[in-house]
Amino acid sequence: MPEQYNYQLGERVRVIVEGLITHMEPAANACPEELTVELEHSAGGYGVTVPLDTVTIERLVPADGVPQPGELWRDRHGRTWFAHENSLNADIALRCTDGDCHLWRSANMNYGPLTRTYPPAVAEQPIAFPELRVGDLWEDHAGDVWRVVERAGRVLLFFGGEYLPWEDVSAKYKPLKRVGPKTAEPEPPAVAEQPTDVPELRVGDRWRDRESCVWRVVETYGQLMLACDYTGEQQRWEGVSAKYGPLTRIIDTAPGGAA
């Protein structure tokens, strides 16, 4: 820890903090008794609540932002100020309808809070949520595909071990487009399978296929099969017929079974 952070009990110090007002108590009172200020911290936001009778408050930036040329602003007394560029130092100045003129920081400190009256604040448009269905697939701008899942009662998008709401994924990785599941194309009507006419098979008969290979009828485990003389492959007759047909029975013409 740096040496300047070494303090002693009993020291009197001045603590200067800067942040956004996130809460007032009582909230509806124009002159609250205490404020909560959100400070920037390496570990995240850090709220500090202070009673107003113990601190000095310095206004830095209006809640509506830094005034811009052409805008109209109202101070705490109800007076209207016109924002314009200051030709002397390129800063923004505010000129009141009564002729008073100040740089915007000075006007904010002396007459704030300042509220922009023109142009009116544009209401933030709500995010248009698509219909999300569990199992749908969404592709982001990088080509990664997120799956819609239900987790702890919430519908979320999942990718790479990360579960995020749709609006977070859309804001970070937009545009998103639905890529699945694709609507299944209607299947063609089923065609009734034509019965295969199996001829009478006898052990020892031989059949020739369209490649002139010879298949011999054999009995294997009680079933009549065709065995190829060349490869030894065995199949049922209908299988050989479908794959190598047409099949032609070899008729023996000489005594002793010679073809």
User: Measuring CA to CA, which residue among 76, 93, 75 is closest to residue 84?
Assistant: 93
Cis peptide before 199 (omega within 30 of 0): no
The percent of residues in the chain predicted with pLDDT above 70, rounded, is 83
User: How do residues 96-150 score in pLDDT, each as one tens digit?
Assistant: 999 999 999 999 999 989 999 998 776 655 556 788 888 899 999 888 899 999 8
* DSSP label at residue 113: P
CA dihedral 168, 170, 171, 172 (to 10 degrees): 80
Q: Average pLDDT of 226-253?
A: 83
What was the pLDDT predicted at 62? Answer: 92
User: Measuring CA to CA, which residue among 72, 82, 81 is closest to residue 111?
Assistant: 81
Check residues 194 and 201 and name the one with the higher pLDDT: 201
What was the pLDDT predicted at 5? Answer: 64
What was the pLDDT predicted at 66? Answer: 92
User: How do residues 63-76 score in pLDDT, each as one tens digit?
Assistant: 889 999 999 999 99
Least confident window among 1-5, 82-86, 129-133, 165-169: 1-5
How confident is residue 28, by pLDDT bands cut at 50, 70 and 90?
low
How many Å apart are CA 19 and CA 165, to the nearest integer?
29
User: How do residues 148-189 score in pLDDT, each as one tens digit?
Assistant: 998 878 889 998 888 888 888 888 887 888 887 755 445 555
How confident is residue 17, by pLDDT bands cut at 50, 70 and 90?
confident
Kindly list the domain boundaries of the chain, sorted by start residue: 3-54, 72-118, 137-180, 206-257
Contact 52, 33 (CB under 8 A): yes
What was the pLDDT predicted at 85? Answer: 92
What was the pLDDT predicted at 123? Answer: 65
What was the pLDDT predicted at 3? Answer: 61
Please give the mean pLDDT across all residues of the chain.
81
